[in-house]
Structure 1
Amino acid sequence: MFDLFGFLNTKASSKDVAKERLKLVLVHDRTNCTPELLELLKTDILSSISEHVDYDTSNLDIKITRTRDDSSGRPVLVASIPIKNMKR
């Protein structure tokens, strides 16, 4: 049966969450990115942008994942940094 309103259900199943976590672990393993290296990258990125913007640390998300636009699944660094305001 077709779920006409299925797109309104934004809650991910535990299976989907576990699958995404496993993908992230595999990407981290394949790129040899240790948690320490990821923390260094985060620190450098935040240090660089803090000269130009004020950002919200509560919703900060920086991670290494893989591309979705091609079949190679190359690792990419994804940063979601909510900006409070621009500095002049």
Structure 2
Amino acid sequence: MGIADLFKKKASGTVAKDRLKLVLVSDRANCSPEIMEQMKNDIIKVISKYVEIDEEKLDIEIAQTDSEGNNGKVPALIANIPIKDLKSPRK
């Protein structure tokens, strides 16, 4: 992610789609949209230390999955994070 990417304006359709996804995910997880946005930003920040990612194609959601111990459905964090390039190791 370059410095110019920070100031790149997203299309309104993309912003609306991202907001709708955030609302749906936060509803399923039973947590606020603010917490979901903070979680997404934290995940991006940590992963970006090691790899360059495509934030426009980033998809993070919470889905219900079957538990391994037959305890019914449990929430699962599912992240699709396209990697553009690996960063060189810091010394």
Normalised to the residue count of structure 2, the TM-score between the two structures is 0.59
- The residue that corresponds to 2:56 in the other structure is 58
Deviations 1:7-36 (A, max 9, x none): xxxxxxxxxxxxxxxxx95x7446421111
- Where in structure 1 do 4 or more consecutive aligned residues deviate above 3 Å? 27-31, 68-71
Residue segments in structure 1 that go unaligned for 5+ positions in a row: 1-23
2:54 counterpart letter in structure 1? D
1:80 aligns with 2:80: yes
* Runs of at least 5 residues in structure 2 that lack an aligned partner in the other structure: 1-22
Superposition map of 1:1-88 within 5 A: 25=24, 28-29=26-27, 31-68=29-66, 72-88=72-88
CA RMSD of aligned residues (A): 2.4
Distance 1:48 1:81 in 2: 12
Normalized against structure 1, the TM-score is what? 0.60
1:51-86 CA-partner distances (Å, limit 9, x unpaired): 000001121101111115666120011110000011
Contact 2:28 2:63 in 1 (8 A): no
Aligned length, in residue pairs: 64
Task: Give the percent of matched residue pairs that are identical in Structure 1 and Structure 2.
Answer: 44
